[in-house]
Structure 1
Amino acid sequence: MAKKHEETEVLLVQGGEQSGGSQGAGVSHRRQSHRLKLTGYVARRKSLPIGITWDTELPGFGLRKRKSGHLTWIVKHRPRGVQRMVTLGSAGVAAGALGAPAARAAARRLLIKATLADLPTAPEKLKAPLFAEFAEEFWLDYSPHWKPSTRDASRAYIDKRLIPRFGTLSVDAIERADINRWRDSMADVGGAFNRSIPVMSVMMQYAEKLGYREKNTNPCRGVSRFKRDLPERYLSADEYQRLGKVLAEHDGANAFVVPALLMLIYTGARVSEIATLRWRYVQIPRLTLPDSKTGPKAIYLNPQAIAVLDGLQRRGDDQLVFPAMYREVPINLGQHWEKIRRKATLPDVRLHDLRHSFASVAIAKGIPLATIGKLLGHALPETTARYAHLADEVISESADRICTSLASSMGMNA
């Protein structure tokens, strides 16, 4: 009987207060469920009738109001032909209540799973949601994989840049022209655009995986970013020689300073990746970092980097490879670098420029940009593309040498 009553409650709702528990000749007063576009405003309405109000746009998505006044988001679906009702969370203004966009996203995700369970072949693509609704679905699925700092920044970009611009567009209707117009509108804040578009690109890729967009239709792919006067600095062979001499003669109190700097030079790793390196991550011939700016990462070790690590006494697995002098905390390389770069007469070279210089040397040796991106741990090809002009210079110089040799052979040198 309980199951039958539950199914009745799914299909019918109580139509207001009953008078004496009956209407007419003892027949319960019932009427069909209410239907509205379910929003946060609807969930806050005190006049919402008791029972279930179904959404007019997403079949199976509903808002249930108990006689006590308690509100919950629900979804009704039929996985493998069995009708089920699932409570998604509390609604309304109570602490911890689930917002309407997040509830809609969770309902849509559950309905997709139910569709997949029913069909032996690829299911028919569901209607793509509006970008504002998809943003909440994306956030629930994707953000747990980001570091806290990345989550905070990405949430700000989504709320302040992306939803105001694309919120009312269907996810599958966003085209390259829309992205280009957005870019043009942000000419005065190019840095904000450069930081926002990678998030938009990831969202469009995820929309493809969910079936909301056709494969390989990411409208962000290939969109140029605003050029910025990045303070990039590349060391020359002579500067490397001066730096090497200073490091060889360095006699600071902390014996980990020089090995740590050599690891930066030999691997192109980020400063934070070397400063926080622990011995359990050292698995020759690579460093296996469980987390980095772009997530889990492997840093490939060349013979020189391996020699640096072999020269250190291996400590406990959970201990730092390059600790501070008196405490088990990451070494502050910036503090030591200030003195070392001055001795090498390189006052304008930052620690991060050692990473740029690693890429510069790799390009000069003819290593493809795609390979360099993997060595540096870039998540997006666009990040490695910043070094493309260096590759162009190498090609141009090679062409000059070839033509000079040919002209000399022909006796046509100027």
Structure 2
Amino acid sequence: MFSNGHLLPENLPRNHLKVVADSVSKTPTQYSVHLNGNIARRRVGNTEIEYWDKDLPGFGLRVFPSGRKTWFVMLRQRGKQRRISLGHVGEVSAKTARRLAKAELVKVALDGLPIANAKTDAKKKQSPLIRDYAPRFWADYARHWKPSTQKRNKVSVFRDICEAFGDRRVDELRKSDILLWRDGFAEKPGSFNRTLPVLAVMMTYAEQLGLRPRGSNPCKGTPRYKRKRMERFLTNREFQRLALALREFEDRRPDIVRAVKLLIFTGARCGEIQNVRWEWVQPPRLMLPDSKTGAKIIYLNRQALTVLNDIPNQRREGWVFPAPQCDGPINLTNFWPRIREVAALPDVRLHDLRHSFASIAIQNNISLMVIGKLLGHALAETTARYAHLSDEVVSDAASRVSGSIAKCLGIAS
């Protein structure tokens, strides 16, 4: 019981309340508390009570003898004190009432200050349509991609993205729109996996230009389609069939055969070999100024050096494998289908020669770290895809070691 004779409201903890004003006739009992949902649900007697929030001055809850409870905010505007009702408990939560109270207090604090013309401000900040934004994005950003990447991403921007969202404003795209768009790629998941990062970059750049709020990229967290990795490793017998097929093409296209042999002996990517220039040939290395992962060194073993030394008409500069009828390098992908058909390897891609290089390296007990260096992987995670092949080699080695130990113990079968 307080000194003024008023009892604490029923179920209201004593240590959470403090009387800040004595109750006189027709004056509600007042308490200073942290207003929240728990306070709003408290049962009280027949006394009118006002709870004032400790943290937000002017924010309060009024409880009438009838049991009705109303949120309010008390403020002073232009010399006059006003009490503004914010709604009844049950209709307005404590969190919402606090937000409304803050808004009213801010409105009073800004009273009299100049306000920008809302219509003019909206026109200034209106976000463009994505089809109008795309050319600007491309002009500003495309130069940061390699030429081959530009070619692919241009299709993503002006075909896939503009066709799907061209009539939407840049700041309108939401996560739900991206997920719905994703569902339309169920039959071609690879296309979605390539296009999503491009759209994500477009949205991030829009944020930097002020066309979207910061941190609002709708592509963030959108899952890509899971695709089974295409890993094909040539067996010894398949390598023999490929060798026979290459011999058949030596007279017709020796340049193609030499390029394929370099792929086999170096584990390099197709584009790295077909686009190689004499300026980069520095035995026993190829010093590529650029590649998928940046500047790269391709190590030339004895077999690879033999292939290069057998090339006639060597020069100091220019393409190592020039195309016969145009000013550019050869295109291996145009001839590979014929070669693999003769070799009876219809499912083998040129890139599988790179996988096979790694497979043979693991069979020769070369560590994953060294293999990553040979292949020019920028990340160790990329080389880790071959770890299961290494497990087989280790398992075989363990079997041979245990067999030798068992033989020493005289328990070998």
Q: TM-score, normalised by structure 2?
A: 0.50
Compare CA radii of gyration and give the structure with the larger one.
2
Q: TM-score, normalised by structure 1?
A: 0.49
